[in-house]
């Protein structure tokens, strides 16, 4: 078992492009407030690359180590070793899960799924958890698919009874309970935390 379901309970995703203040400050507040996992996702307009991405990644990685929080890198296989990432998260169009698994036998692999067909593909065999959604409409991901709703989370849970699963997309403290009740092990959020005026309270309510 590379991941335990409880580690997905409060899964925070962030890149510098999501922040209007210091990403380190935001992550530190979220870490102190009790997030269980963090995904470093530099993606889309305004995101960092190259050494700037690596340097920020190192700082965020350090915070996760200090607070015992899983550190997952979004899609960037070449950063797994330099950042000593616990895991990598990929989408359906990203790096293949079997290729990653062959190179990194112990690394957690997360895979995004948005319908049952994707959840049936061979790539699932190398996934340790799934990110399921978008549950609701989201302004954070430009190319997000149509919302699937919590009824689909319930359907996916019935299809994958044992798979660690985190619900994502438009999740807030007010609606998180519905995804958990539908069978998700946890909720993954970007803006609920990056745009929060009180991260401690937001994470507690999630």
Give the nearest distance from C-beta 194 to ligand TZP in angstroms.
8
Q: Which residue, among 126, 121, 130, 125, has the nearest Cα to 153 in the 3D structure?
A: 130
* Angle (deg, nearest 10), helices 23-33 and 50-67: 20
Does position 191 interact with ligand TZP (CB under 6 A)? The reply is yes
Give the nearest distance from C-beta 40 to ligand TZP in angstroms.
12
Does position 166 interact with ligand TZP (CB under 6 A)? The reply is no
Cβ–Cβ under 8 Å, residues 167 and 11: no
Does the annotation mark 41 as catalytic? yes
Give the nearest distance from C-beta 138 to ligand TZP in angstroms.
3
175 DSSP assignment: T
Q: Which residue stretch of 49-57, 60-68, 135-143, 150-158 sits at the interface with ligand TZP (rule: CB under 6 A)? A: 135-143
- Given the residues 10, 16, 61, 112, the one annotated as active site: 112
Transcribe 8-39 into DSSP letters. GSEEEEE-GGG-SS-HHHHHHHHHHHT--EEE
Rank residues 134 and 186 by Cβ distance to ligand TZP and give the closer one. Answer: 134
Does the annotation mark 177 as catalytic? no
Cβ–Cβ under 8 Å, residues 98 and 123: yes
Cβ–Cβ under 8 Å, residues 179 and 150: yes
How far apart, in Å, are the Cα atoms of 145 and each of 7, 49, 58, 169, 170?
26, 25, 31, 10, 12
Does position 157 interact with ligand TZP (CB under 6 A)? The reply is no
Q: Which residue stretch of 21-29, 151-159, 164-172, 175-183 sits at the interface with ligand TZP (rule: CB under 6 A)? A: 164-172
Does position 203 interact with ligand TZP (CB under 6 A)? The reply is no
Does position 132 interact with ligand TZP (CB under 6 A)? The reply is no
Does the annotation mark 49 as catalytic? no
Q: Which residue, among 206, 197, 168, has the nearest Cα to 29 in the 3D structure?
A: 197
Annotated binding residues, written as ranges, equal: 39-43, 74, 94, 112, 138-141, 170, 190-191
- Please list the active-site residues: 41, 112, 141
């Amino acid at each position: 078992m590379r991941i335990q379901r409880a580690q997905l309970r409060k899964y925070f995703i962030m890149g510098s492009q999501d922040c209007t203040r210091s990403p380190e400050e935001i992550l530190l507040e979220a870490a102190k407030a009790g997030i269980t996992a963090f995904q470093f996702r530099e993606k889309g307009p305004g995101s960092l690359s190259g050494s700037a991405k690596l340097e920020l990644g190192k700082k965020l990685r350090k915070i996760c180590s200090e607070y015992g929080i899983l550190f997952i890198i979004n899609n960037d296989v070449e950063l797994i070793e330099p950042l000593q990432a616990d895991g990598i998260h990929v989408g359906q169009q990203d790096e293949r899960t079997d290729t990653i698994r062959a190179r990194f036998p112990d690394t957690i692999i997360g895979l995004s799924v948005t319908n049952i067909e994707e959840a049936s593909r061979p790539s699932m065999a190398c996934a340790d958890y799934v990110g399921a959604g978008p549950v609701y409409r989201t302004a954070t991901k430009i190319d997000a698919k149509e919302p699937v709703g919590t009824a689909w989370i319930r359907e996916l849970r019935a299809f994958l009874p044992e798979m660690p699963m985190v619900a994502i997309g438009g999740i807030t403290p007010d609606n998180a309970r519905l995804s958990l009740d539908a069978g998700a092990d946890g909720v993954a959020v970007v803006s609920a935390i990056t745009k929060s005026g009180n991260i401690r309270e937001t994470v507690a309510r999630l």
